[in-house]
Structures are given as structure tokens and as C-alpha cells.
Amino acid sequence: MRITVAKHAGYCYGVNRALKLAHEATEDSAKPIYTLGPIIHNPQVVESLMRQGVNAVQSVSEVDEGTIIIRTHGVDPKITQAAKSKGLKVIDATCPFVAKAQQRAANLVKNGHNVVIVGERNHPEVAGLLAYTNNKAIVIESAQELDSLSVMERIGVVVQTTQSLENLASIAKGLLNKTKELTIFNTICSATSQRQVTAAKLAGAVDLMLVVGGKNSANTTRLAKICREKNEKTFHIETASEVDKSWLKNAEHIGLTTGASTPDWILKEVADRLRSFIIPR
């Protein structure tokens, strides 16, 4: 049995940065320390931070003192302001790629565009982007939703950073029928596109593909979907305990990749469990 790990697996830049800021906060910042929502979409990492005294809250109203960390997905700037007004120390771990998309969205509104956000309606990053357009943007998840969209004079597009290029391309194509002036900022982050391209390539070359990451992680779920299109024997798992021995039947070559918020130690546990099925300990 051969195991190949995709070239771009493990934490992305934004997640690494956010976790570094959280760890630094445990040493230097005013206690107690909170994150606004889980800092990343990986339950095992969130649990580990809880053990270090960093707890997730859903709203600034739950916090009266200490430090609050804004997660990689970013938030409505009014929320940051509310935290500061309460006297909380705010650590902004919004990924710089997300911050760039937020600024693009705000500028499009300022310049008189009707803004379309390509992304998942219920994703926190999209909620943040929407806030930067004063909630004027229209969120589109797939090209099928364009049928009900009116024709508009000027349309400006920003994209949730973890979307696939294919989805953006199909929506952009449909939008050409809805306006004469279309401005597109491809705000998909390079870490996401590289991860998707290398995972798809690997999935197409192996007998079994495992995508490791939080079941609540949008980028991991999308990665699994992309891999499944190349290899129907693709499974999205969160931890090593989910690896099913029966998957290994006729699987000589196994591919592994991870979502952007999956720590290396979980990937290692998955690889170790796969090997344990072959080499008795």
C-alpha cells in the first residue's frame, strides 16, 4: 500500500496566523479570552484551545471583560466596534485575503455597483462580506439561482475566498446576460485554488482518496466534492477513527488531503491508522 499526501495540505496561511495570534493571546492578553464563533472550523483544534482557556462565544453581548478574537472569516465591522466600545481588547485574526475581499465589496458599493457575492448564504465569511456592502449585496450560490435575477446596469462581483473557480466561472458566464457592465474581483484565495487543483489531480490518480477535516468546514466539504468528481471512492473524514478497513479493499494507492483548518497531527493519525491495517503492531 502506498500513501501520497497532496502537495498543498495542512493549515493554510490564514489559519496558521489566527492560531498563532490565539496562542500569543494566552500568554500576553487580558483574560478571559474568547473567540467570536469557533476560531476555525475544526472541532479538535477548538477543543484544544478550550483547554488553554480560549472559549468560543456567539456574540459580544456574552463577554464583559478580557479579550475577544475575531476569527479568520471576519465579521461585520459594527461587531468589532461594539466589542471595543465595551472596553474589550480586540485581536483581529481576519485572514488578510478575506479582508481584501471585504474592501473590494465596500468599494464596489461606493462606486455605484450592484454587488453580487458568490458564496454560501449561511457562511460567516459571506455574512461579513454582506455587512461591508451595508447588506445591499445579493448572494448567489450557484448559476441556477440567476434565473430570478433582474437585469442591472452595473454588476460587481466578489467571491467567498474558498469557492471553486468552476462555480465562479459558471456564475460569471450567467451574469453576462444580466448586465452590460460586469466587474469581477476573483477573491478566491491562492491557498484554496492550489489545494483544490493538487487534490483533484491526486484523487484522479489513486484508488482511494481521503479528505480530512471538520464536517462543519465549508472548504473541506468542497474539497471532498471536487475529489469525488475525479474519484467516486472519496471519503470526507474528521478523525482517524472514521477510517473504515473495508475501504482499503483493492486500494493499492491511497491519496490524502486536508481542509485548510486541519492540523498535521490529525493527518498523521489518519496515515498511521491506514498503515496499522496493513502492518500488525
Give whichever of 15 and 108 is closer to ligand SF4, judged by the CB atom.
15
Among 54, 60, 172, 189, binds ligand SF4 (CB under 6 A): 189
222 neighbors 162 (Cβ within 8 angstroms): yes
261 neighbors 9 (Cβ within 8 angstroms): no
Give whichever of 125 and 141 is closer to ligand SF4, judged by the CB atom.
125
Which candidate, 182, 102, 175, places its Cα nearest to that of 140? 175
CA dihedral 94, 95, 100, 101 (to 10 degrees): -80
Q: Where do the DSSP E strands lie in 12-78? A: 33-36, 54-57, 67-70
Beta-carbon neighbour count of residue 227 at 10 Å? 28
Q: Which stretch binds ligand SF4 (CB under 6 A): 9-17, 151-159, 201-209, 221-229?
A: 9-17
- Placement of cell 475529489 in the chain: 227
Instruction: Find the angle CA(139)-CA(141)-CA(142) to the nearest 5 degrees.
Output: 130
Total residues binding ligand SF4 (CB under 6 A) = 15
Among 192, 220, 234, 257, binds ligand SF4 (CB under 6 A): 192
Measured from the CB of residue 252, what is the shortest distance to ligand SF4 in angstroms? 32
DSSP assignment, residue 30?
P
User: What 3-state class would DSSP assign to 220?
Assistant: helix
Residue nearest to ligand SF4 (CB): 14
| Residue 120 is a catalytic residue | no
Number of residues in the chain: 281
107 neighbors 157 (Cβ within 8 angstroms): no
Among 5, 8, 9, 14, binds ligand SF4 (CB under 6 A): 14
Q: Does residue 15 touch ligand SF4 according to CB under 6 A?
A: yes
Residues between 154 and 173 that touch ligand SF4 (CB under 6 A): 161-162
Q: Does residue 95 touch ligand SF4 according to CB under 6 A?
A: yes
Q: Which stretch binds ligand SF4 (CB under 6 A): 92-100, 114-122, 139-147, 166-174?
A: 92-100
Residues between 16 and 55 that touch ligand SF4 (CB under 6 A): none
Of 120, 125, 141, 238, the active-site residue reads 125
- List residues near ligand SF4 by CB under 6 A: 12-15, 72, 95, 97-98, 161-162, 189, 191-192, 219, 260
